[in-house]
Amino acid sequence: MNQHTLKRSYTYKGNGLHTGQPVEMTLLPAPENNGIVFQRIDLNGDSFVEAKVENVSHTSRSTVLAKNGVEVGATEHLLSALYGMGVDNALVQLNASELPILDGSAKPYADDITEDGLQDQRVERKYFTVTKPFSYKDEKSGAEIVVTPSDRLEIEVEVDYNSKVLGVQYADYHDGMDYAKEIAPNRTFCFFHELEPLLSHNLIKGGDLDNAIVIVEHPVPQETLDKMRLLFNAGDLKVTQGYLSNVQLHFSNECARHKLLDIIGDFALLGLPLRGKIVAKKSGHSINTKAVQALIYQLK
């Protein structure tokens, strides 16, 4: 199979989830062997950051890349969409430090690429092939990622927050599945009790209740709901079956599917499509990117 790029450019406008900054971002076709590269067009000089794991700056609530002082945050949803849709090469131009959150999923990107298809390129695609079993575990959190050989990409995810609402959720994906329909629409999520601490730590400035699933684990007084309604400029808020009433689930296991979406985005930082099977428990951006780093080190 040959490499692929976009057939045309796409522009998206919105706010960064954590910075709250308005941002305009354009996806453009790129030549063979370019990979996925971000460019901060609001900065002077060399403002390019390659989507590779060596450029991971930090993973607090999202995957942030940085190079030579140039930072690009919340990269995982776009990278997931490009990987899942088969885009090997693209230039991503943006005029702020964080990608737009849009609806909290990868659906806007996947829908646009589905409509137009991809541009076939003349150079053969290369793969990162797993040749022996590999595991990475965080003893403190119990999070674990195991990667074993396979002739295609396969992912199995288990999500367990000791939550009465979520229970234990599972999701799986493999090459050949319809990424745009099965994975891309799944939105980011958080627990209601996390919202106030996130706000107090100067995060989720660009959040609203249309781009996240909010899980309500414990009873919430109406005055607290009213406070959140004002903070997020939302309509009337209620708790329905353990979720804020602002959204309806796309899938019963949407939270697990979103974790799978994130894994695809973070593993895109290998720089090459993966041939291997990933089994992840309690995954997050930190262990995802550390596992990618360790996997590259092991192969070398």
- Pair type for strands 128-129 and 274-281: parallel
> Are the beta carbons of 99 and 78 closer than 8 angstroms?
yes
What residues have CB less than 8 Å from 71, skipping those under 6 apart? 49, 57, 64, 65, 97
Half-sphere exposure of 200 (CA within 13 A, CB side): 5
> Are the beta carbons of 215 and 166 closer than 8 angstroms?
yes
For the chain, the first-to-last Cα distance in angstroms comes to 25
Secondary structure (3-state) at 266: helix
Sheet order of strands, 213-215 included:
189-191, 213-215, 243-244, 239-240
- And the tokens for 248? 């309806």
Task: Report the distance separating Cα 188 and Cα 211, nearest Å.
Answer: 7
Task: Report the distance separating Cα 214 and Cα 275, nearest Å.
Answer: 34
Is residue 4 annotated as a catalytic residue, yes or no?
A: no
Helix (H) or strand (E) holding 281: strand 274-281
> Are the beta carbons of 8 and 29 closer than 8 angstroms?
yes
Half-sphere exposure of 202 (CA within 13 A, CB side): 2
What residues have CB less than 8 Å from 118, skipping those under 6 apart? 4, 5, 6, 7, 85, 86, 87
What residues act catalytically?
285
